Amino acid sequence: MSSSSPPRIAGAILTVDDVTVRFETPEGPVIAADDVSFTVKDGEFLSIIGPSGCGKSTVFNVIGGLLTHHEGTVRVAGETINGPHQSIGMVFQEESTFPWRTVTANVAFPLELTGMPKQKRIERARYFIKMVGLDGFENRYPGELSGGMRQRVSLARTLASEPKILLMDEPFAALDEQTRLLLGDKVLQIQQQLRQTTLLITHNITEAVQMSDRILVMTYRPGKVKRIVDIDLPRPRTSEIVGSEAFGRYVAQIWNDLREEASRGLRDEEAHVLHHEAASS
Amino acid sequence: MSAGAPARGSPWRAFAPAATGLGTLIGFLLVAELLIRIGVINRFIVPPPSEVIESFGRVIVEEHVPRRFLLTLSECLTAGVMITVFGVAGGVTMHRYKLLQQAIETWVAALAAAPVVLAYPLFMVIFGRSAWTIIMIGFVAALPPVMLKTLEGLAGTRKVLVNVGKSFNLTQNQQFWKILFPAALPTIFVGVRLGLIFALINIVGVEFLINYGGLGQLINDLAERYDLPGTYAAITFVILVSVVFFMALEKVERWLRPVD
């Protein structure tokens, strides 16, 4: 059910190989990600989970091509990439809709870039708006929507670019737990409908177990792959699964892995604060 | 809710702020009228508001206010077009070239605070006693806020929006026109609005100083003739023009910023 080293899967659509990222800080070099390797199969839902500061978002930025000064390689369907790639669609943690565009114009944005005729791209945008459950809000501006609705607009905009891999960085982190669970259902439904390969970065164990086929647990700094856990829960899934016994076992198992890392992170933060206080006094 | 209380959303609630504002103005004018009539304020320095209001019709007809208004307005619009074109382009260039920004941002900010109007003799030497002297002083005085606000708007674009652009593999041109510029537009418009107000103030001031052109010259003429009600009527007219100008710009700004 779990293994200590990442398996290399033949025919993987995404391969992350020995990725290491170092940052220079005033306190010296920091290794944000250390020899991170894993693969994602076509149609698979993989979550990366870890405590704050473990380098999850760094891995997100490397795969999305926003961070290019790294060691190791990222390959999409065998092609090595080092920069943004049309096969990868990104959904960000922060609210990222364009406030000057309506919902339809936001979702049609990637289609506009391809030069698709206006009428066709509006039809296409409406298809994805309906998919995320926002039909009826096509002509609203993001400022008129709730946080969860805006994240759905971002998701629809990314889906409209029809990426091979959907890359999401804690897209529901700013939402309340109930909305988060319901949006998790929506993402699951879409993922199953499109057979969309998805990579989710999260620190929420429930969210990860609810949606994933596999969960990659990262260590606290330097961020390494600690374990990859297969989630053998039946599909199609909904948020109702959070009440099941098997779900609880997976959550406990992953928390067991994470607790040690999270505690280390907490101790490190406390030491950091004390160090700063001592230095400034 | 008590029986006598006005219902939520009643017309009174909607008009209360405007009515209170207007009432305050009328109250102020009545107090001024009273103080002038009982001699607390010297009527040879400040004429009674009633005389100023009476002189409105006379000033508008005899002093050709519509023609002067159009002249001042055309000077303002010319300066407005110039500050929009050159100010936005200047701000964009400063944003694009960091070295240039570091080199001149302080100077531009200093220019925004400088009383450019005092340099009018220099402008008269260059452009003569013409509308161009007035327009160019308005332009130079109003350029810095447009440049600085354009820079602020572009630099303040949220990083995540820039990252969305990168994730869709936008070219530098697309990144600018599809993300940076629309994101910065509300801030740029604040700069243009400030710039136009700076331009209007300077233009009327220079018209007054060089005794040439539209409404500023009219104030100068009437003051030299010691027609105090007329002078104050002309000043009121300029204030009204500024208010209308400001409100129109605010409407356009709201239109540009659909929903906050």
Output the pLDDT for position B78.
Answer: 94
Residues A117 and A243 in one domain: no
Of A24-28, B32-36, B215-219, where does mean pLDDT reach its minimum?
A24-28
Give φ, ψ of A11 to 5 degrees.
Answer: 75, 20
**Contacting residues of A for B183, CB less than 8 Å apart:** 98-100
Residues A195 and A266 in one domain: yes
CA distance B64 to B68: 6
Each residue of A117-159: pLDDT tens digit?
999 999 999 999 999 999 999 999 999 999 999 999 999 999 9
Q: Residue A249 contacts by C-beta under 8 Å, 6 or more apart in sequence?
A: none
Q: String of b and e for B44-69 (b: at least 16 CB within 10 Å)?
A: eeebbbebbeebbeebbeebebeebb
Q: Which of A98, A144, A161, A168 to mutate to test the interface with B (most CBs of B within 10 A)?
A: A98
Q: Residue B112 contacts by C-beta under 8 Å, 6 or more apart in sequence?
A: B144, B145, B148
**Chain A contact for B259, CB < 8 A?**
yes
Contact flag B167-A90 (C-beta cutoff 8 Å): yes
Structural domain span for residue A214: 2-87+164-280
Residue that finishes a domain, picked among A127, A144, A162: A162
Nearest to A143 among B167, B168, B260 (CB): B260
Contact flag A84-B260 (C-beta cutoff 8 Å): no
pLDDT band for A186, please (50, 70, 90 cuts). Answer: confident
Contact flag B167-A113 (C-beta cutoff 8 Å): no
pLDDT band for A8, please (50, 70, 90 cuts). Answer: very low
H/E element, A215: strand A214-218
Residues A245 and A190 in one domain: yes
CATH value at residue A196: 3.40.50.300
| pLDDT above 80: residue A276 | no
pLDDT band for B257, please (50, 70, 90 cuts). Answer: low
Residues A59 and A133 in one domain: no
Residues A108 and A75 in one domain: no
The residue among A10 and A208 whose pLDDT is bigger is A208
Contact flag B167-A64 (C-beta cutoff 8 Å): yes
DSSP for B28-65, written as a single string = HHHHHHHHHHTTSS-TTTS--HHHHHHHHHHHHHHTTH
Residues A123 and A231 in one domain: no
CA nearest neighbour of A97 among B161, B2, B52, B92:
B161
| pLDDT above 50: residue A5 | no
**Contacting residues of B for A99, CB less than 8 Å apart:** 183, 258-260
| pLDDT above 80: residue B239 | yes
Contact flag A110-B168 (C-beta cutoff 8 Å): yes
Residues A137 and A250 in one domain: no
Output the pLDDT for position A52.
Answer: 84
Give φ, ψ of B52 to 5 degrees.
Answer: -65, -45
Residues A151 and A107 in one domain: yes
Residue type at position A216: L
Residues A52 and A112 in one domain: no
- DSSP summary character for residue A87: T
| pLDDT above 70: residue A251 | yes
What is the rounded average pLDDT for all residues in chain B? Answer: 89
Q: What is the mean pLDDT of residues A214-222?
A: 91
The total of structural domains in chain A comes to 2
**Contacting residues of A for B168, CB less than 8 Å apart:** 84, 109-110, 113, 161
Residue type at position B60: I
Output the pLDDT for position A10.
Answer: 52
Residues A271 and A187 in one domain: yes
Least CA distance to A84: which residue of chain B?
A: B167
| pLDDT above 50: residue B121 | yes
Count CB-CB contacts under 10 A for residue A18: 12
Contact flag B163-A66 (C-beta cutoff 8 Å): yes
How far off is chain A from B256, nearest CA to CA, in Å?
8
Contact flag A100-B161 (C-beta cutoff 8 Å): no
**Structural tokens at position B61:** 């007809």
Output the pLDDT for position A115.
Answer: 92
Contact flag A86-B169 (C-beta cutoff 8 Å): yes
Q: What is the mean pLDDT of residues A194-205?
A: 92
Contact flag B258-A84 (C-beta cutoff 8 Å): no
How far off is chain A from B159, nearest CA to CA, in Å?
9
CA distance B53 to B58: 10
pLDDT band for A13, please (50, 70, 90 cuts). Answer: very high
Residues A73 and A208 in one domain: yes
Give φ, ψ of A159 to 5 degrees.
Answer: -65, -35
Alpha-carbon distance values, B258 to A141, A142, A143, B151, B251 (Å): 8, 10, 9, 22, 11
The residue among B69 and B257 whose pLDDT is bigger is B69
Tokens 């891999």 appear where?
A: A165
| pLDDT above 60: residue B259 | no
Output the pLDDT for position A7.
Answer: 44
ipTM of the complex: 0.88
Residue type at position A39: T
Each residue of B18-44: pLDDT tens digit?
899 999 999 999 999 999 999 898 888
Nearest to A84 among B160, B167, B259 (CB): B167
CA distance A123 to B123: 58
Output the pLDDT for position A21.
Answer: 93
Residue that finishes a domain, picked among A142, A162, A182: A162
Residue that finishes a domain, picked among A128, A144, A162: A162
Residues A223 and A251 in one domain: yes
Q: Which of A81, A104, A112, A113 to mutate to test the interface with B (most CBs of B within 10 A)?
A: A113
Output the pLDDT for position B59.
Answer: 87
**Contacting residues of B for A85, CB less than 8 Å apart:** 169
Of A66-70, B91-95, B161-165, where does mean pLDDT reach its minimum?
A66-70
- DSSP summary character for residue A175: S
Least CA distance to A92: which residue of chain B?
A: B160
| pLDDT above 60: residue A3 | no
pLDDT band for A261, please (50, 70, 90 cuts). Answer: confident
CA nearest neighbour of B49 among B74, B79, B28, B71:
B28
Output the pLDDT for position B7.
Answer: 53
Nearest to A84 among B160, B169, B178 (CB): B169
Contact flag B185-A100 (C-beta cutoff 8 Å): yes
